[in-house]
Amino acid sequence: MRYHCAKSFSEAAEIAAGAPGITRFLAGGTDVLVQLRSGLVTPDDLIDLKQIPGVHDISRTPEGGWRIGVAVSGAELGEHAGVKADWPGVVEGMGLVGSTQVQGRATLAGNLCNGSPAADSVPGLVAAEARVTVIGPNGAREVPVEEIPTGPGKTSLGPGELIAAITLPARGAAGGDAYQRFIPRTEMDIAVVGCAVNLTLTGETIAAARVALGAVAPTVILVPEAAAAIVGTALDDAALEALAAAARAAASPISDKRGTAEFRTHVAGVLARRVAQAAYARAKGDTK
């Protein structure tokens, strides 16, 4: 395995494009090192991105959103008062990835590129309409976050392509987002089901919403039917029931060691209800 410490994204892309074998980018390393250690994936070339200028930065975009560098750790994100105030659901999703120790290393971009349908940070990003900056041999492009994962362990990134940053849009007024997951323990597990809801209010009424589910399909999925079930309502019981039903209808999970398909489908509805209520409370300014 050759270790490269890239000084710029173009250098990283160039090394990757020219590498003949298996290539991995190293941001937080919490997935790459586990795969390396277990012998699952031993890259021929490992390209460390952490020395590239700006990758540790979180900055305001001209539109009033946030641009989060590729090497910003979960711990750094969780300590950023600005992002936390605007997008608490995104921050709490990332905060659930692994232990305190893993938070010291793991990154949003890494969690996304690992391609796991159960990735805790991804539903929140999808619900928030986050976009990613992809840099490759042919320059940079902007992509909606949900277009990156294409299946378990797979992404739409081409050879030599890598993520440089993740951009969250401006929060805007009367908005709130939230993420919760179901796990058998209190910590340290992979999500059996995850759900993020992002919504904005006009008065008491939900004006717009996005609902994303994790671990119930080959990728994190956006569920427009679930959003439609609550838009135009004040999240009354009927709306919550319709939301739960839509979330369950959208779920097409597998049964595995972490949960049965039946259980996942049921819990998708339970979580959708709970998370929508949390996001709604935040939008109203009741809680953070």
Residues engaged in binding another protein (CB under 8 A): 1-3, 26, 29-30, 33-34, 36-39, 42, 46, 48, 50, 73, 75, 98-102, 104-105, 182, 184-190, 192, 256-260, 262-263, 266-267, 270
Q: How far is the CB of 115 from another protein (least distance, A)?
A: 17
Spatial contact of 168 and 130, defined as CB atoms under 8 Å apart: yes
Q: How far is the CB of 248 from another protein (least distance, A)?
A: 13
Q: How far is the CB of 270 from another protein (least distance, A)?
A: 5
Q: For residue 190, which of 159, 222, 214 has the smallest C-alpha distance?
A: 214
Lookup: tokens for 139 = 């320059």
Spatial contact of 194 and 123, defined as CB atoms under 8 Å apart: yes
Q: How far is the CB of 218 from another protein (least distance, A)?
A: 19
Could you identify the residue written with the tokens 């009927």? 238
Q: What's the sign of the alpha-carbon dihedral 185, 227, 153, 7?
A: negative
- Pick the closer one to another protein by CB: 105 or 131: 105
Q: How far is the CB of 273 from another protein (least distance, A)?
A: 9
Q: How far is the CB of 222 from another protein (least distance, A)?
A: 23
Q: For residue 147, which of 158, 159, 155 has the smallest C-alpha distance?
A: 155
Lookup: tokens for 162 = 């890598």
Question: How far is residue 13 from each of residues 30, 48, 57, 144, 229, measured CA to CA in Å?
Answer: 21, 11, 20, 20, 43
- Pick the closer one to another protein by CB: 178 or 183: 183
- Pick the closer one to another protein by CB: 109 or 222: 109
H or E element, residue 47: strand 45-48
- Pick the closer one to another protein by CB: 93 or 136: 93
Per DSSP, helices labelled H in the chain are 9-18, 32-38, 74-78, 81-86, 88-95, 100-103, 108-113, 122-127, 224-230, 237-250, 261-283
Q: How far is the CB of 34 from another protein (least distance, A)?
A: 5
Greatest pairwise CA separation for the chain in angstroms: 58
Judged by DSSP in three states, 236 sits in coil
- Pick the closer one to another protein by CB: 220 or 271: 271
- Pick the closer one to another protein by CB: 67 or 258: 258
Q: How far is the CB of 195 from another protein (least distance, A)?
A: 12
- Pick the closer one to another protein by CB: 50 or 284: 50
**CA 109, CA 71: separation in Å to the nearest integer?**
8
Beta bridge partners of 179: 196
- Pick the closer one to another protein by CB: 95 or 149: 95
